[in-house]
Amino acid sequence: MKRLFLIRHGEAEFTGHGRGDRGRRLTDDGLAQAARLGHMLAHAGIEIILASTADRAQETAKGMGLSAPVESIDALYDASTVTIARTLADLDATSVQVAALVAHAPGVPALVDELTGPGSDPDAVARVSTHFPTATVARIDFEGTWADLSGARLTWANRG
Give percent helix, percent strand, percent coil of the chain, each to the nearest 5: 35, 25, 40
pTM of the predicted structure, to 2 decimals: 0.96
Rounded-to-integer distance, Cα 72 and Cα 83, Å: 14
Rounded-to-integer distance, Cα 114 and Cα 9, Å: 19
Give the phi and the psi of residue 118 in degrees, each rounded to 5. -55, 140
> Cβ atoms within 10 A of the Cβ of 81, count?
17
Q: Is residue 150 pLDDT above 90, yes or no?
A: no
To which H or E segment does residue 4 belong?
strand 2-8
Rounded-to-integer distance, Cα 110 and Cα 133, Å: 13
pLDDT tens, residue by residue, 74-84: 999 999 999 99
- The confidence band for 152, taking pLDDT boundaries of 50, 70 and 90, is very high
SS3 141: strand
Amino acid symbol at 77: Y
**What letter does residue 68 receive in the DSSP assignment?**
S
Mean pLDDT confidence for 41-65: 98
> Are the C-beta atoms of 100 and 139 separated by less than 8 Å?
no
pLDDT of residue 33: 98
Q: Is residue 47 pLDDT above 70, yes or no?
A: yes
Nearest C-alpha neighbor of 57 from the set 127, 119, 108: 108
To which H or E segment does residue 61 belong?
helix 55-63
pLDDT of residue 44: 98
Q: Is residue 21 pLDDT above 70, yes or no?
A: yes
pLDDT of residue 16: 66
Mean pLDDT confidence for 132-155: 95
**Helices and strands, counts by H and E, the chain:** 5, 6
pLDDT of residue 133: 97
pLDDT tens, residue by residue, 101-133: 999 999 999 999 999 999 999 999 999 999 999
Q: Tell me the average pLDDT of the chain.
A: 96
To which H or E segment does residue 113 belong?
helix 107-115
Q: Is residue 158 pLDDT above 90, yes or no?
A: yes
pLDDT of residue 149: 87
